[in-house]
Amino acid sequence: MEENLLFLALPIANKDDYDDELVYLKTIEDSNQPTEFEKLLKRLINSFEWAKVEQFVLFYDPKRFSDIYNRCNKKNLTQIPSPIQLLNFIPQFTPIPPDMPQVNVNGVTFTHGIIYGYINMNNNRGVLVDCDALRDGQHMRATDSRGNSVKIFVINCKREDIFIWFVNNRQPTRKIDINYNKHGKTAKIVNKVVVSGRSYSDEEYQDMLQWAVGDNGHRRKYFIDEKKNRLVIFWNENLQEPTFHYYDVDIHDKDEYSKMLKECSKSVVEQIERIGSLKARQ
């Protein structure tokens, strides 16, 4: 299975020491309340909240994390969580492996750092997640060990931006089952039960499927179309490729709406509603 690769860009903590990554990384600002690490931890947890059920690897530079952590400890602050505790919230958190070919960024050669990892490990679908770290992420000049120019794709470390990246780039791609014919273009009666017709085209269902979310481990994913006031439910058919059939109901039908969402946790229902609003603003 193809992996979704994300690379986390963190700022430089020890700004008093020379650091060659200053050519593309910013330094962290002094702050005691809350601490730099606490702010960073909270931001990471919040930013990846909507991506918890996605399949991905989040690479980070251990040096950047340890520098931030050690700087907080020098201030004798108490109850500072260690970097390893991020694994409780983001299990996909993975250090960049060593011993890869050198790269060049803005005229400087590197055998370490997050851009070094990005260039060597990117599968042409990876993305650099900027946690207020990059000096100018849109105009970095980067080349691989052979001197080939490398385009760096950057998104902000924000919950909405990370989720939209998955909507547009998720691998493997979700697909609707175009051969599933239970719900036709119009309503029909099957075994004395009314089976509703489809409210959208195949293309519209396919688009909404990319935005749909649900509890981890459950077959169903959900999307709310605020413009047509419909709740769309997608069922995973457990095929080799992620394939779904669908059904939609009027969100004003409170009984049916509650019935469809009864297996979801409160936090997932809130997520479904917020993502529906996000899609409506696009």
Sign of CA dihedral 101, 104, 109, 110: negative
Q: Residue 274: what pLDDT?
A: 97
The model's pLDDT over 77-116, given as tens digits with 9 standing for 90+, comes to 555 556 566 667 787 889 999 999 999 999 999 999 999 9
Average pLDDT over residues 38-58: 87
Long-range CB pairs of 143-150 (<8 Å, 24+ gap) are 143/103, 143/104, 144/101, 144/103, 144/119, 144/120, 145/101, 145/102, 145/103, 147/104, 150/103, 150/119, 150/122
The model's pLDDT over 112-123, given as tens digits with 9 standing for 90+, comes to 999 999 999 987
Minimal CA–CA distance to 9: which of 101, 118, 94, 150? 118
- Above 70 in pLDDT, residue 196? no
- Above 50 in pLDDT, residue 48? yes
Whole-number Cα distances in Å, 139 to 22, 120, 150, 194: 15, 19, 11, 57
pTM (2 d.p.)? 0.88
Spacing of C-alpha 18 from chain mean position: 33
pLDDT band per the 50, 70, 90 thresholds, residue 181: low
The model's pLDDT over 215-234, given as tens digits with 9 standing for 90+, comes to 877 789 999 999 999 999 99
How far apart, in whole angstroms, are the C-alpha atoms of residue 196 and residue 186? 7
Of 270 and 33, which is predicted with more confidence? 270
